[in-house]
Amino acid sequence: MARPSRTEAVTWLLFSAGGMAAALVVPVLLLLFGVLFPLGVLAPPAYEHLLGVLRNPLVRIGLFMLCALALAHWAHRFRHSLGDLLRVRALNTPIAVLCYGAAVAGSVWAALVLFQ
Amino acid sequence: MTANPSPARLYRPPVSRLWWLRRRSYLLFVLRELSCVFVAWFVVFLLLMVDAVYAGNDSYQRFLDWSGRPWVLVLNIVALAFVLLHAVTWFNLAPKAMVVRMGGRRVAPRFVGAAHYAAWALVTVVLAWIVLGGS
């Protein structure tokens, strides 16, 4: 067993925070925007209302935190799952670099979209 | 555990690449781990929606049409199922991972679990209220 590293501790904390944020926030938003509005069960919000909500600085910051933490959660969990499923030790480092790199790139995209 | 065993002396029993199909609990574990892919998909979906709204009413309407396409709808229904699996397993695990102390005594794990579900319900109601315009 390798000694638990500081990097592992930091990525685990981000994973944990992202898991909590995703569990609290994602189900209701996905239910509304992904399922109920497209199915016509509920009418989607009027454009002006949604624009007003999304222009609120607190909403922008909140959504950015949600995106960044959720992606960190994905990166950490996916990295370890892929390692468990592939079981090729030589691939562990490239997998980690790709996963955390994708999470950082996704967070930059989120910032560009939310603070445009 | 001995400190720094040399790698050559470690015995690694062979494990099938399909180990996760052996038992129901293994499969559920893998499905739970897989839920993170759908959490990441939600981030993409959310950012596409936000981008469309900032770009104007026309692009918002185009986003709504796009989200009604069969493949997007099916993907989102599957994603919702996985996200719910993530939320339930997460909140069920929380009391085991968290030891909360109040006044020097440990808060009973079931209260910690109940508090998480209560927080989930509150967040759900508040967000739905904001999105739907408080009407």
Domain boundaries, chain B: 21-132
Q: Is residue B58 within a helix (H) or strand (E), and if so which, with residue range?
A: helix B57-67
Q: Which of A64-68, B14-18, B71-75 has the lowest mean pLDDT?
A: B14-18
In B19-135 the beta strands, taken as DSSP E runs, fall at: 101-102, 105-106
Among partner residues B47, B83, B91, which is closest to A113 by beta-carbon distance?
B47
Class of domain B21-132: mainly alpha
The structure tokens 């959720």 sit at: A70
Distance, in Å, from the CA atom of B119 to the CA atom of B113, rounded to the nearest integer, reads 10
Other beta carbons within 10 angstroms of residue B72's beta carbon come to: 15
**Gyration radius (Cα) of chain A, Å:** 17
**pLDDT by residue (tens digit) across B32-59?**
999 999 999 999 999 999 999 999 999 9
The whole-angstrom distance between A94's CA and the closest CA on chain B is 18
> Residue B111 to residues A37, B91, B98: CA-CA distances in angstroms?
35, 12, 11
Among partner residues B72, B120, B133, which is closest to A45 by beta-carbon distance?
B133
**pLDDT by residue (tens digit) across A53-95?**
999 999 999 999 999 999 999 999 999 988 888 877 888 899 9
Q: What is residue B94's three-state secondary structure?
A: helix
Judge whether B98 and B112 are in contact, CB under 8 Å.
yes
Find chain A residues with C-beta within 8 A of B53's C-beta. Answer: 47, 50-51, 54
Long-range contacts, stretch B65-68, CB < 8 angstroms, 24+ apart: B67/A33, B67/A34, B67/A37, B67/A38, B68/A38, B68/A39
Global pTM value: 0.89
> Residue A51 to residues A102, A114, B123, B124: CA-CA distances in angstroms?
28, 12, 21, 20
SS3 content of chain A, % helix, strand, coil (to 5): 85, 0, 15
Which CATH fold would you assign to the domain A6-114? Answer: 3 helical TM bundles of succinate and fumarate reductases (1.20.1300)
